[in-house]
Amino acid sequence: MSPAEIEAFLHEKIPLAQAMGVRVESSGAEAFILTAPLEPNHNHLGTAFGGSLAALATLTGYACLWHALDDRDAHVVIRRSELDYRHPVRGTLRAICRRPEEGELAVFRSTFAKAGKARITLAVTIEEDGRGCLYFRGDFVAIR
Amino acid sequence: MSPAEIEAFLHEKIPLAQAMGVRVESSGAEAFILTAPLEPNHNHLGTAFGGSLAALATLTGYACLWHALDDRDAHVVIRRSELDYRHPVRGTLRAICRRPEEGELAVFRSTFAKAGKARITLAVTIEEDGRGCLYFRGDFVAIR
């Protein structure tokens, strides 16, 4: 699936992604990157709303795993997350999820194939000008 | 400020609140309650999107504290949060933030008055049919 196809899928299935103006910048082998403009996502201070940052990080982890799993029968859901807000975001929101190591993904896929359920922890960072503004860790579960 | 005034304020200052259809159900002495309809907040499974739940819980904590503090010079921001997703939400999203004890609020207000900065932890629960679906804990900071 191309970034444009993933973007269309997210906008169709998750209306908040459309309302936030989410774009897929990269769905490459190294990292999955989503962006969103500040305008629909600002707060009372003119910086990014913490809830928009949380929603974008959650969506990035979800979409990264869904894309890496590449299994039409898998439903990916979030179970837990921890968010550490370090600095305000003043421009475009840009969330980066490093793709899990191939070995970890292989275990995840084989557990899912055997048990119909598998769990994985993903880290997402929202960066601006090379600085980490939000650090997100989420436990995601794939269920058949 | 009445619930309708708080709602208008949130919609004006935080466009995502408007996109999510956030309503103020209660801003009472016991609990601050925000709701949002499922339609703009659903995911690929037709239940509430985890990112919408995270955004609503964050907004509820923020608005509860901002309302309780009642200080025009205070800017409330989030520093950390932990979210535990227990059950899917199948209908209206309804987030409840119990107002902090008066003693805790008094310490928070006096610290803020003296230091121009104060921190507090708030718990928000998203419930459906009396069942806790999401448990959120967030550290919020008020800054002058």
**Using CA atoms, how far apart are residues A77 and A81, in angstroms rounded to an integer?**
12
In the predicted model, what is the mean pLDDT of residues A28-51?
Answer: 95
In the predicted model, what is the mean pLDDT of residues A24-34?
Answer: 94
Alpha-carbon gap: B103 to the closest alpha carbon of chain A (Å) = 27
Q: Which amino acid is at B13?
A: K
Q: Is the dihedral of CA A91, A80, A122, A118 positive or negative?
A: negative
Q: Is A12 strand, coil or helix?
A: helix
Phi and psi torsions of A131, nearest 5° = -110, 135
Q: Which amino acid is at A43?
A: N
Which pLDDT belongs to residue A71?
A: 81
A-B C-beta contacts closer than 8 Å:
112
Which pLDDT belongs to residue B80?
A: 98
* Per-window interface: A 37-56 vs B, CB < 8 A: 39-45, 49-52, 54-56
Q: Which two tokens stand for residue B142?
A: 């008020």
CA nearest to A9, candidates A29, A19, A24, A25: A24
The residues facing A48 across adjacent strands are A42
Q: Answer yes or no: do A55 and B56 touch at CB < 8 A.
A: no
In the predicted model, what is the mean pLDDT of residues A30-44?
Answer: 96
Q: Which two tokens stand for residue A74?
A: 């898998």
Which pLDDT belongs to residue B1?
A: 84
Give residue for tokens 């980066």.
A96
Q: Does B69 have pLDDT greater than 90?
A: no
A19 inside 8 A of chain B by CB: yes
Which pLDDT belongs to residue A80?
A: 98
Contact B133, B58 (CB under 8 A): no
* Structure confidence by residue, pLDDT tens digits, B75-128: 999 999 999 999 999 999 999 999 999 899 999 999 999 999 999 999 999 999
Give residue for tokens 């121009």.
B116
* Structure confidence by residue, pLDDT tens digits, A48-100: 999 999 999 999 999 999 998 888 788 999 999 999 999 999 999 999 999 99
H helix runs in chain A, sequence order: 3-13, 15-20, 50-69, 102-115
Which pLDDT belongs to residue B81?
A: 98
**Using CA atoms, how far apart are residues B53 and A123, in angstroms rounded to an integer?**
19
Alpha-carbon gap: B30 to the closest alpha carbon of chain A (Å) = 24
Q: Answer yes or no: do A55 and B59 touch at CB < 8 A.
A: no
Which pLDDT belongs to residue B60?
A: 98
Mutate which of A14, A22, A62, A82 to test chain B, going by most B C-beta atoms within 10 A? A14
Report the share of chain B in percent with pLDDT over 70: 100
- Alpha-carbon distances of B45 from A113, B41, B88, rounded to whole Å: 21, 11, 10
**Using CA atoms, how far apart are residues B60 and A16, in angstroms rounded to an integer?**
18
Q: Answer yes or no: do A79 and B62 touch at CB < 8 A.
A: no
Q: Answer yes or no: do B13 and A43 touch at CB < 8 A.
A: yes
Q: Which two tokens stand for residue A102?
A: 């191939």
Count the alpha carbons within 13 Å of B137 in the hemisphere toward its beta carbon.
6
The residues facing A93 across adjacent strands are A36
Q: Which chain A residues touch B58 with a CB distance below 8 Å?
A: 49-51, 54
A31 inside 8 A of chain B by CB: no
Q: Name the average pLDDT for chain B.
A: 95
Q: Does A29 have pLDDT greater than 90?
A: no
Burial of B31 (0-12, 13-18, 19+ CB in 10 A): middle
Q: Could you tell me if the ipTM is greater than 0.85? A: yes
